[in-house]
Structure 1
Amino acid sequence: MTESATQTLRSNFPVGSPRWATRRTQWRALGLNDEDIDKPKIAVVNSSSKLAPCFSHLDDIADRVCEVIRDQGAIPFEVRTVAPTDFMMAAGRGGGYVLSSRDLLTNDVEAVVEGAQLDGMICLASCDKTTPGQLMAAGRLNVPTVVVPCGYQRSGRTDDGEVVDIEEVFIRAGHVASGRCTLAELCGMSDRAIQGPGVCSGMGTANTMHIVSEALGMSLPGSAPVAANSPAMWRNVDDSARAIVAAVQQNLRPRDILTPAAFRNAVASVLAVSGSINAVKHLQAIAVESGLELDISAEFARLQTVVRPLSTVRPAGPTSIEEFDAAGGALAVLHQLGGVVDRSVTTVTGRSLGEILADPCAIDEQVIRPLDSPVADHATIQILHGSLAPHGAIVKLSATEIRATAFSGPAVVFEDAAAAIEAIHAQRIPSGSVLVVRGLGPHGTPGMGMASNVVFALDGAGLTNTVSVVTDGQLSGLVNKGIVVGEVKPEGARPGALNLVRDGDLVAIDLREGTVDLKLTPDELDARSFSTASKTTHPPNSWLSVYDTTATDLEHGATLKGASH
Structure 2
Amino acid sequence: MSLRSNFPAASAHAVTRRAQWVSLGIDPTELDRPKVAIINTSNDLAACFAHLDDIADLLKEELRSLGLLPFELRTAAPSDFITNAGRGGRYVLSARDLITNDVEVMVEGAQLDAMICLSSCDKTTPGHLMAAGRLNIPTVIVPCGYQRSGLAEGGEADVEEIFLRAAQQGLRDHSGPDGPQRAADELAALHELADGAIRGPGVCSGLATANSMHMAAEALGMAVTGSAPVRALSERMWDSVRRSAHALADLVARDVRPREVITAGSVTNAVRTMLAVGGSVNTIKHLQAVATEAGVDLDVWETFRTLGRETPTVCSIRPNGPDLIEDLEDAGGAATVLRELQPLLDGNQRTVDGGPLADNLARARPGDGRVIRSLDDPCSTTPAIVVLRGTLATDGAVSKRPIPDPGPRSFRGPARVFHSREEGIEAVVENRIQAGDVAIIRGIGVTGGPAMGMISAFVFALEGRGLASEVPVITDGQMSGLVNHGIGIGEVSPEAAAGGALGLVRDGDLVEIDLAEGRLDLFVDPAELATRPAFTPPAPADTSRYLDQYRATVQPLACGAVLGARSATGGA
Tell me how far 1:158 sits from its aligned partner.
Answer: 10
Indicate which of 67, 83, 88 corresponds to 1:94.
Answer: 88
Distance of aligned partners of 1:416 and 1:246 in 2 relative to their CA distance in 1, 3 Å threshold:
same
Q: CA deviation at 1:451?
A: 1.5
Deviation by residue 1:10-31 (Cα, 9 ceiling, x = unmatched): 1010110111111111111111
Which residue is 2:344 aligned to? 340
Assess if the C-alpha contact under 8 Å between 1:84 and 1:98 holds in 2. Answer: yes
The aligned residue for residue 547 of structure 1 is 550
**Secondary structure class of the residue paired with 2:493:** coil
Contact 1:202–1:320 (8 Å) recurs in 2: yes
**1:443 is matched with which residue?**
447
Alpha-carbon distance between aligned partners in 1 of 2:3 and 2:322, rounded to the nearest angstrom: 50
Aligned to 1:177: 170
In structure 2, what is the equivalent of residue 71 of structure 1? 65
- Which blocks of at least 5 consecutive residues in structure 1 are unaligned? none
Identity, in percent, stands at 50
- Describe the SS at the equivalent of 1:79: strand
What code does the residue aligned with 2:458 have? Answer: V
Give the direction of change, closer, same or farther, for the CA distance of 1:300–1:558 in structure 2 (3 Å limit): same
Q: Which moved more, 1:277-286 or 1:182-191?
A: 182-191
The CA deviation at 1:360 is 4.8
From 24, 38, 57, the equivalent of 1:44 is: 38
Distance 2:374 2:555 in 1: 39
Q: Does 1:168 align with 2:168?
A: no
Q: How far off its partner does 1:175 sit?
A: 2.3
Separation in 2, partners of 1:531, 1:562 = 24
CA distance in 2, matches of 1:46, 1:84: 13
Q: Does 1:479 find its partner at 2:477?
A: no
**Residues 99-120 of structure 1 deviation map (CA, whole Å, 9 limit, x = unaligned):** 1100000000000111100000
Matching residue of 1:59: 53
- Aligned partners of 2:446 and 2:561 also within 8 Å: yes
Deviation >3 Å, runs of 4+: 534-539, 562-565
Please state whether the residue corresponding to 2:266 is helix, strand or coil.
Answer: helix
Q: How does 1:60-209 map to 2 (within 5 A)?
A: 60-157=54-151, 163-179=156-172, 182-209=186-213
C-alpha contact 1:336 1:371 (8 A) present in aligned 2: yes
CA RMSD of aligned residues (A): 1.6
What SS is found at the alignment partner of 1:175?
Answer: helix
Contact 1:47 1:81 survives alignment (8 Å): yes
Contact 2:339 2:366 in 1 (8 A): no
CA contact (8 A) 2:84 2:91 kept: yes
Q: How does 1:283-432 map to 2 (within 5 A)?
A: 283-432=287-436
How far residue 152 of structure 1 moved from its aligned partner, in angstroms, is 0.4
Q: What SS does the aligned partner of 2:513 have?
A: strand
Secondary structure of the structure 2 residue equivalent to 1:385: strand
Matched with 2:179 is none
> Are 2:101 and 2:131, in contact at CA under 8 Å, matched by a contact in 1?
yes
SS at match of 2:168: coil
Distance in 2 separating the partners of 1:298 and 1:136: 20
How many Å separate the matches in 2 of 1:171 and 1:216?
32
Q: CA offset at residue 88 of structure 1?
A: 1.1
Aligned partner of 1:255 in structure 2 is: 259
Distance 1:71 1:193 in 2: 39
Query: Which residue identity does 2:429 align to in structure 1?
Result: H
Determine the C-alpha separation between the residues in 2 that align with 1:513 and 1:302: 10
Residue 193 (structure 1) shift:
1.4
Q: What's the CA shift string for 1:422-461, capped at 9, x where partnerless?
A: 2222322222111100122111111111121211121122
Change (3 A) 1:426 1:183: farther
The answer to whether the 8 A contact 2:145-2:202 is kept is yes
- Kindly provide the CA deviation profile for residues 352-382 of structure 1, in whole angstroms up to 9, marking residues without a partner as x: 1111122252532211011121101201001
List per-residue Cα deviations over 1:452-482 (Å, max 9, x = no partner): 1211121122111221100011111123210
Cα offset for 1:163?
4.6
User: 1:85 and 1:425 mapped to 2: Cα distance?
Assistant: 29
Question: Shift of the alpha carbon at 1:162?
Answer: 6.1
- Counterpart CA distance in 2 for 1:269 and 1:451 is 27
Q: Secondary structure at the match of 1:224?
A: coil
Contact 1:452–1:480 under 8 Å retained in 2: no
Which whole-Å CA distance do the structure 1 matches of 2:6 and 2:365 have between them?
42
Contact 1:213 1:219 survives alignment (8 Å): yes
The structural deviation recorded for 1:258 is 0.4
Q: Which of 432, 438, 443 is matched with 1:434 structurally?
A: 438
1:197-250 Cα offsets, whole Å, 9 max, x none, are: 101100000000000000000000000000000010011111111221221111
Q: Separation in 2 of the partners of 1:34 and 1:303?
A: 54
- Which secondary structure does the structure 2 equivalent of 1:151 belong to? coil
Q: Deviations over 1:117-157 (max 9, x none)?
A: 00000000100000000000000000000000000011104
Is the 8 Å Cα contact of residues 156 and 193 (structure 2) preserved in structure 1? no
Question: How far has the Cα of 1:330 moved from its partner?
Answer: 0.3
Deviations 1:251-271 (A, max 9, x none): 111001001100110000001
Equivalent AA in structure 2 for residue 282 of structure 1: H
- Cα pair distance change 1:105/1:158, threshold 3 Å: closer
Post-superposition offset of 1:409: 1.6
SS at match of 1:487: strand
In structure 1, distance between residues paired with 2:483 and 2:345: 26
Distance in 2 of aligned mates of 1:30 and 1:158: 44
The letter of the residue matching 1:546 is Q
TM-score w.r.t. structure 1 length?
0.96
Q: Describe the SS at the equivalent of 1:96.
A: helix
**1:186 CA drift (Å):** 2.4
Contact 1:493 1:534 in 2 (8 A): no
Which moved further from structure 2: 118-127 or 246-255? 246-255
In 2, the alpha carbon distance for the partners of 1:543 and 1:145 equals: 28
Q: 1:203 to 1:432 in 2, by over 3 A?
A: same
Q: Which stretch has the larger CA shift, 54-63 or 180-189?
A: 180-189
SS of 2:388's partner is strand
Partner SS state of residue 478, structure 1: coil
Match of 2:16 in 1: 22
> Counterpart of 2:192 in structure 1: which amino acid?
G
Contact kept? 1:13, 1:20, Cα under 8 Å: yes
Aligned residues: 557
Does the CA contact (< 8 Å) of 1:308 and 1:380 recur in 2?
A: no
